[in-house]
Structures are given as structure tokens and as C-alpha cells.
Amino acid sequence: MRERTQLVPTGRFRHAARPRNWIGKRHGVRDDLPVDTAQEVVLESCGDTTWAERNMNPKLDLLQGTLDLLVLRTLVSMGPLHGYGIARRIEQLSEDEVLLNQGTIYAALVRLQNQGWIAAEWGASENNRRAKYYSITRSGRKRLAVETSYWQRLSAVIGRVLAPSEGGPK
């Protein structure tokens, strides 16, 4: 008999208590068996993806901390922007390899504001609607310099490790 693999994310919820935004597909699973022995679930939900989904999805997942760096850099280069404008600019510069939903960008903006790295001010948008505009603070510029240096070092190291070595197998 084939062993079944459970792909439910780290036991945060069980079969009967799924979050509202959870969308799952069960393939050939018997509902009368216990969850830990019978559930094969492929998740199509709030960031919980399987290896197969990540490799079939052409869009890139951001590593932890990179969104903050991208937001800070966008505010330096573009000046004060509202959240939607920040998200669209990041998507544009990434050539749509990174797609940001509202929940993701606004959570990052709140986090950055709580850290004191950005400031917010209400203003009127291009279509004359009330919008919160974000700008980078002095401490945000310092943090951007530190994070940029870190990511440049890290990407250089990863590039060296992934590059084929001279004289070795390619």
C-alpha cells in the first residue's frame, strides 16, 4: 500500500477548521480517516505553497526582509508615494516577476512605520482621493544603506557558490 504524505502546513489548522481564505484540493482522500494518515492537500492559499507550486509558478517569492529593502529603495528613488504606487513601481522594476497584493505591501508599510524608517502623511492622490503618502526618514536611509550592503554581499557570495568552478565539473 502506498504511503500518503501530508502537505498541510505545520499543523496550524486541521480539516474541520480551515481559515476562510483557504482554498484546497483533495485528491482521492477518504474523509473518514484521521487527518494525519489520510490527508493529501495541495494548498493554493495565503503564501502556503508546496515545492511543486513554487516551481510551476513563474513569479518570484521574496525572501524575508527583501520587501522592506525594496520599499525603502523605491521611496528614495521616487520620493513620497502611496502604498499602491509603491507596489506598482516595484512590480514595474521587477518586470512583473514580483507581484504584490495589498495585504503584503500595507503590512510592510506598517512594519516600516513602526520601526521609524518611514513616515506617513495624508494627502490627495492623482484621482483626487484621500491617500496616505509614505516617505523615508533619516533612520530609514541609514537602514537602507546597511541592508543594501548586506544584500550585495550575500548575493555576491551566492553567485560565487553557484558559478561553475574552473577545472571542476560543470
What sign has the CA pseudo-torsion 83, 140, 145, 160?
Answer: negative
* pLDDT one-digit tens code per residue, 35-89: 433 333 333 334 555 555 555 656 677 777 899 999 999 999 999 999 999 999 9
Across the chain, mean pLDDT equals 76
* pLDDT one-digit tens code per residue, 113-125: 999 999 999 999 8
* pLDDT one-digit tens code per residue, 20-34: 444 444 444 444 444
pLDDT on residue 65: 80
The ranges assigned to domains in the chain are 1-57, 66-161
- Cell triple for 168: 571542476
CATH tag, 66-161: 1.10.10.10
CA 99, 103, 108, 110: dihedral to nearest 10 degrees?
150
Question: In 10 A of CB 115, how many CB atoms?
Answer: 13
